[in-house]
Structure formats: structure tokens, C-alpha cells
């Protein structure tokens, strides 16, 4: 059994991932900025532990990590709607870049904790070729994509400096129950990711 901390657990992606991890028998914790109740977590409300806090506040992130002592962290918190990011670039940078930086800083005190962060396929901009290769050039063409490129850079630097196990995900458009009205991966994605967490854990033993 893994102990997993999900930032942004009350959102679309976070709540689906939490459901799959709970179903697989893992100990799921979350960092949430909003107050309860958490409608997206209604089906598992008694099977997850929520820590209240702001992802951009280092002391809040440290508290969540201290309370959960996770084997793995999945960083999903942030501003995920490109149109909202363009309308408020300062908020987008604060949540997506500063929030990632706060998490990385806090994780320096927990060496060995595996980290996965959600970037976006938007970092590729308008690709020259379809399908898009993972190593295609990054050409962010909106504020949201630019913040994701910055968050990726911070994460890679952290992983290299600390030789830490980090994974950067670049999902394309997601759809399904509970998604934000401004967004356009089926649930199998979260099931696959939950399986990846378990298999990675087993291989590391």
C-alpha cells in the first residue's frame, strides 16, 4: 500500500485519481484550498484525508507533507483553464509556478519521495507534426502553457539537483464527469496512472 498526497485533490483530475487510488487500496491524502464539503469527493469522502492549505504558501505545503508523510506526491493543483490564465496572468503564475516552487522547496526535506506533476500538451503549442513526439520542441503560445513550461523547468532542476525520482506528465484535453466547464482524459487515464504508481513501487523494493 502506498501513501499518496494529491495536491488539487478536489478538482476534476485529482478527484478521479483519488477514487482509483482508494479503490486500489492505497492511503490517499489531499491538499485542498477550498472549504468543505467537497462534492467531487462525495463517493470517497470517508476514505481520504484532506489537509487544508494554499499550494503557494510554503508553510501550508510543509504541514500537509508532515501530516501525510507520503511515499509519492501527485501535483495537480493550479489554474488549469487557459482562458482564465490569459485573463489573469498574475494568478496563473502564482498558482502554477510559485505553487510548484513551494512544493519542490518543501520536498527538499523529504528525500526519496516520488513526485509526479501535471504539465500539459499545451507546452508544444501548434505542433509541426501529428502525432506529437515527447521530445518535440516546446513552443508555448499562451499564458497557461508558459506557466507549465516554467513549472517543468523547476521540476527538472529539482530532480537533477537532488537526484530525485520525478515524472512530468503532459496530458492532452481531458473530458469526463466533474470537469470544469472551460475544459474540453477518460477515466482509464487515471486507472493507468494508479497502476503505474503501484508497479513503480514494487520495482523499487
Q: How far apart are CA 121 and CA 44, in angstroms?
A: 29
Place of cell 503505474: 196
Judged by DSSP in three states, 70 sits in: coil
The pLDDT of residue 197: 61
List C-alpha distances in Å: 156 to 51, 55, 101: 26, 19, 12
The pLDDT of residue 49: 98
Closest alpha carbon to 107 in 98, 115, 97: 115
Place of cell 505553487: 99
The model's pTM is 0.86
> Which triple of cell numbers denotes residue 27?
492511503
* Residues annotated as part of the active site: 144
The pLDDT of residue 3: 98
- Write out residues in the chain with pLDDT < 70, as ranges: 175-205
Q: Which helix (H) or strand (E) holds 199?
A: helix 187-204
List, for residues 44-56, the tens digit of each pLDDT value.
Answer: 999 999 999 999 9
Domains of the chain: 3-204 (3.40.50.720)
The pLDDT of residue 179: 64
Q: Is the CB of residue 145 less than 8 Å from the CB of residue 123?
A: yes
> Which triple of cell numbers denotes residue 21?
487510488
The pLDDT of residue 186: 42
List, for residues 170-196, the tens digit of each pLDDT value.
Answer: 998 776 665 655 554 444 455 555 555
Amino acid at each position: 500500500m502506498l501513501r499518496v498526497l494529491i495536491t488539487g485533490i478536489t478538482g476534476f483530475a485529482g478527484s478521479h485519481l483519488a477514487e482509483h487510488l482508494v479503490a486500489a487500496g492505497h492511503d490517499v491524502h489531499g491538499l485542498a484550498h477550498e472549504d468543505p464539503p467537497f462534492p467531487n469527493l462525495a463517493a470517497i469522502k470517508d476514505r481520504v484525508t484532506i489537509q487544508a492549505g494554499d499550494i503557494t504558501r510554503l508553510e501550508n505545503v510543509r504541514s500537509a507533507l508532515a501530516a501525510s508523510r507520503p511515499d509519492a506526491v501527485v501535483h495537480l493543483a493550479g489554474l488549469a483553464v487557459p482562458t482564465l490564465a490569459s485573463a489573469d496572468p498574475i494568478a496563473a503564475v502564482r498558482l502554477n509556478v510559485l505553487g510548484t516552487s513551494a512544493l519542490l522547496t518543501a520536498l527538499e526535506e523529504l528525500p526519496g519521495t516520488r513526485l509526479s506533476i501535471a504539465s500539459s500538451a499545451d507546452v508544444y503549442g501548434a505542433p509541426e507534426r501529428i502525432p506529437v513526439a515527447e521530445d518535440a520542441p516546446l513552443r508555448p503560445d499562451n499564458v497557461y502553457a508558459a506557466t507549465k513550461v516554467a513549472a517543468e523547468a523547476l521540476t527538472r532542476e529539482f530532480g537533477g539537483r537532488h537526484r530525485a525520482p520525478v515524472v512530468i506528465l503532459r496530458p492532452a484535453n481531458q473530458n469526463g464527469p466533474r470537469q470544469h466547464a472551460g475544459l474540453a482524459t477518460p477515466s482509464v487515464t487515471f486507472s493507468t496512472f494508479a497502476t503505474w504508481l503501484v508497479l513503480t513501487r514494487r520495482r523499487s523494493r
